Amino acid sequence: MEAYRTEEEQVEALRRWWSENGRSTIIAIIVALGLGFGYQGYKNYSQGKDEGASELYQRMLQTFNSPALTPEQLEIAVQLAQQLKNDFSGTAYAQFASLHLARLAVGKNALADAQAELHWVLGKADKGSDVARIAQLRLARVLAANGEAEQGLGILDEGTEGPYAASYAIARGDILLSLGRTEQASEAYTAALALAADNTEGLDLVAVKQKLQALNPQAPKATVVVRETTAVAPVVDAGSAVEGEEVEVEVSEGDSIGGEG
């Protein structure tokens, strides 16, 4: 009987606990399950979206890089880039697509369109990321080409450090040179060479050195030729020399003329 009462007490205690906490427990379980399934669903959705963006980006690159790009293929590539921006705007693929569109715009001298694309990239990319730094660098050059050199120089002031510092210094030198500020351009090119000492990838340092040399021409150095002089004595050979002709003879150190000594 004692064991029975103990079991009854346990059941009764369980009923009271369930009455007090059962609903909150069920809600907690439902929420936990919901979060788990929700996260898994989001993960699958995100993965599928990234795969879709990647596939579209590869198609765009293949079209852009066609050996003989026809106007029709170019139009298809541009449409793919626009689709990436519209359907996958939150991905890095869309940012790269916009960089391609900016490059095309520069090639057509549509500088306003290029600026719009680069501003779009900067609005999407993380501040300080590689994509953002590349977009800033290109935007500075586009602004300078569009007559807004000072604004371009202001953008370049933000890239004095990091892996792209040499590229920023070269762009700064080019813009200053276009403004006729040759001394400052020379300083920028010199800084670029120093910054690129440990990382020359993607940099045309030969061109930089040529620009620097053109800005700082050096006068040709005089070549000093030292010639050893030798003693010359007139020698008359009755058998071969003509009267009054002088024949030069080389006298080694220690020799004497006329057999003296």
Region 2-31: what's the mean pLDDT?
A: 61
Q: Quick one: pLDDT band at residue 159, thresholds 50, 70, 90?
A: confident
210 or 259, higher pLDDT: 210
Tell me the pLDDT band of 17, cut-offs 50, 70 and 90.
low
pLDDT at 201: 73
Confirm or reject CATH 1.10.287 for domain 27-152, answering yes or no.
Answer: no
For 58, the token pair is 């590869």
CA neighbor of 136 nearest in space, from 117, 151, 150, 156: 156
The CB density around residue 64, as the number of other CB atoms within 10 Å, is 19
Which residues contact residue 163 at a Cβ distance below 8 angstroms, ignoring those fewer than 6 apart?
Answer: 130, 199
Tell me what pLDDT residue 23 has. Answer: 62
Q: Has residue 247 got a pLDDT over 50?
A: no
d(CA 140, CA 171): 8
Query: What's the whole-number mean pLDDT along residues 84-112?
Result: 95
- pTM for this entry: 0.65
Say what the pLDDT of residue 200 is: 75
Contacts of 184 (CB under 8 A, 6+ apart): 176
The mean predicted confidence, pLDDT, of the chain is: 78
Domain limits, the chain = 27-152, 160-215
Share of the chain above pLDDT 90, in %: 52
